[in-house]
Amino acid sequence: MELEITTLIVLALVALVAGFIDSMAGGGGLITIPALLAAGVPPTMALATNKLQSSFGSFAATLYFLKRGMIDLASMKWAVICTFVGSALGTLLVQQIDSSQLSRILPYLLVGFACYFLFSPRISDSDSHRRLSHNAFALLVGTGVGFYDGFFGPGTGSFFAMAFVALAGLGMAKATAHTKLLNFTSNMASLLFFIIGGKVLWTVGLTMAVGQILGARLGSRMVVAKGVKLIRPLLVTVSLVMCARLLWQGHPEWFAWIGAGLKAVLPV
C-alpha cells in the first residue's frame, strides 16, 4: 500500500504532535491511529504501523531520560523482561479472541486514574515510600500491564505511571521516565509479532517515526523542565479524553442524546 507524499508529510506532522504529548502523558495513539485510518490504512495495518512509529518515539524519550540519569536501569531489568513477555503473550492472545469487552470497562478505570492524578497527595516531584519490591513490581505490573498493552492498549501509559507513583514511590518526572522505558519494551514486543505477520507499512511508519522522534525529544525536555506542574494536568486530560473516545465508540447513542438535549435547550 502506497500513500501520496502530501499524506505522508501530514502523517509525519501528526506523529510529531503525538510524540510530544505521548512522551509526557501517553495517549499518542489517540492521535496517530485515527490519522492512519483516515488516510485509508486498513485497521490491522494501522495498529501495526502505529507500533512501528511509536517505538521510535518511546525510544527517543527513553534515551533522553537515560542520558539525564532519570532511569535506574539496574533496578528495571526484570521489569523490562516481564513487560516484554507480557506484551508478547497479549499480542498472541488478541489474535485468537475478541478484546472488545475491555472497552466497556476501561473508560471507568480512566476516570479513576484521572481522579487519582488530580487529588492524590502522593503526586509530586519527590520520591516517596516504595510499596512493592523491584521483583514484585516487575512480575505484577510489568507482566500485567505489558500483557494489557499487547492485548488491547489504550491507557497503558496511565497504568504504568500510576503504578510507578503509587507502588514504586517515584516522583512524577521519574515515573514518566520509567514509563517510557516500559512503553518502548512493550511496543517492541508487539511490533515483532506484527512484523512476523507482515502487517507493517514500512514507508508510512518510518516517515512518521521522524516526527515521533522530534516530538518525543521536545516533550521529554518539557518533563525535565516543568515536572509535575505540567505532567499532572496532562495525565488527567489524556485519561479523560481517552475515556470520552472509548465511550463514544461503544455508546454513540449517548452522545446523540446529549447533542439532541443541547439543541433543545440552547438557542439556535
CA 196 to each of CA 4, 87, 190, 224: distance values in angstroms, whole numbers, following the listed order: 26, 15, 10, 37
- The cell numbers describing 144, all together, are 500485567
Q: Are 223 and 24 in contact (CB under 8 A)?
A: yes
Hey, which bits of 137-256 come out as E strands?
none
209-245 in b/e burial notation, b at 16+ Cβ within 10 A?
Answer: bbbbbbbbbbbbeebeeebbebbbebbbebbbebbeb
pLDDT at residue 78 tops 90? yes
Q: Which residues contact 135 (CB under 8 A, 6 or more apart)?
A: 78
Measured between alpha carbons, how far is 30 from 173 in angstroms, rounded to an integer? 22
Higher pLDDT, 239 or 184: 184
Q: What angle do CA 2, 56, 166 make, to 5 degrees?
A: 135
| pLDDT value at residue 125 | 66
CB burial of residue 192 (10 Å; 0-12, 13-18, 19+): middle
158 or 62: which carries more pLDDT confidence? Answer: 62
Torsion of CA 43, 13, 84, 177, to 10 degrees: -150
Report which of residues 268 and 168 the model is more confident about: 168
110-164 pLDDT, tens digit each = 777 678 667 766 666 677 788 999 999 999 999 999 998 888 777 788 889 889 9
How far apart (Å, rounded) are the C-alpha atoms in residues 146 and 185? 8
Distance CA 84, CA 150 (A): 9
Other residues' Cβ atoms within 10 Å of the Cβ of residue 262:
9
Q: Binning pLDDT at 50, 70 and 90, where does residue 227 land?
A: confident
Which pLDDT value is given to residue 121? Answer: 64
Q: What is the share, in percent, of the chain residues with pLDDT greater than 70? A: 91
122/81: higher pLDDT: 81
Average pLDDT, the chain: 85
Give residue 152's pLDDT: 74
Q: What is the largest CA-CA distance in the chain?
A: 62
pLDDT at 260: 78
Q: Cα separation of 227 and 243, whole Å?
A: 24
Please give the average per-residue pLDDT across 244-252, as a whole number. 77
Average pLDDT over residues 23-43: 85
pLDDT band at 213 (very low <50, low <70, confident <90, very high): very high
Has residue 103 got a pLDDT over 70? no
Q: How far apart are CA 68 and CA 137, in angstroms?
A: 23
Residue 216, pLDDT > 90, answer yes
Q: What is the pLDDT of residue 113?
A: 66
Beta carbons of 60 and 223 less than 8 angstroms apart: no
pLDDT confidence of 248, banded at 50, 70, 90? Answer: confident
**Higher per-residue pLDDT: 260 or 164:** 164
Note the pLDDT of residue 197. Answer: 83
